[in-house]
Structure 1
Amino acid sequence: RRKESKRACPGRKGAELGEADEAELQRLVAAEQQKAQFTAQVHHFMELCWDKCVAKPGNRLDSQTENCLSSCVDRFVDTALAITSRFAQVVQKGGQ
């Protein structure tokens, strides 16, 4: 029978994490980091597109400005997806 290693959990007296718990915690942290990175990227795209498309802010966006913003963000998203896909292909080929 395999003995599960345990690691102390900082800040919690007597609390220990097993290997499975630690792996799950790492997975959750990675997922949260991905969410934060995605949110930051969306904000960055919107800032760039806002500067490009919005000449003067008003109470409402006209249709030309809305179309510009939509197209701008779509281009960034398409580019990010293409880069991510290509990177995944390179990593997969490197692992073979």
Structure 2
Amino acid sequence: MENSAELQRFIEQEKQKAMLNEMVGKLTNVCWDKCITGTPGSKFSSGETTCLTNCAQRFLDMSMIIAKRFGTMQ
């Protein structure tokens, strides 16, 4: 029984890691497509940096709102 509980915890942790990786991938794709309009140079312009920061923040805020809604539905 103890091994089963440990396995369950491990599976849950792996699910959370996979969800986090998926979220980071989506955030990267969405914000890159939105904010990087030209050929990237060796560093981001100040406009690109601001856009990426705002985009990432909005994405994370929406993810938290969605997660809270799902949490209240269970």
Establish whether residue 71 from structure 1 lines up as the match of residue 54 from structure 2. yes
Partner of 1:86: 69
Residue 60 (str. 1) matches residue 43 (str. 2): yes
1:1-96 aligned at under 5 Å gives the runs 19-56=1-38, 57-91=40-74
Tell me the CA shift for residue 68 of structure 1: 0.3
Gaps of 5+ in 2: none
| Higher relative contact order, structure no. (Cα contacts within 8 Å, ≥ 6 residues apart) | 2
Equivalent AA in structure 1 for residue 23 of structure 2: Q
Q: Which has the higher helix share?
A: 2
> TM-score if structure 1 supplies the norm length?
0.71
The alpha carbon displacement at 1:32 in A equals 1.2
- Over residues 33-65 of structure 1, what are the superposed CA-to-partner deviations in whole Å (9 max), with x where a residue is unaligned? 211211121111111100110012111101110
Distance 1:65 1:82 in 2: 26
Task: List, as ranges, runs of 4+ consecutive aligned residues in structure 1 with deviation greater than 3 Å.
Answer: none
Percent identity between matched residues is: 37
Determine the structure 2 residue equivalent to 1:12: none
Output the amino acid matched with 2:15. Q
Q: Which of 1 and 2 has greater Rg?
A: 1
Matched positions, count? 73
How far apart are the structure 2 equivalents of 1:55 and 1:89? 39
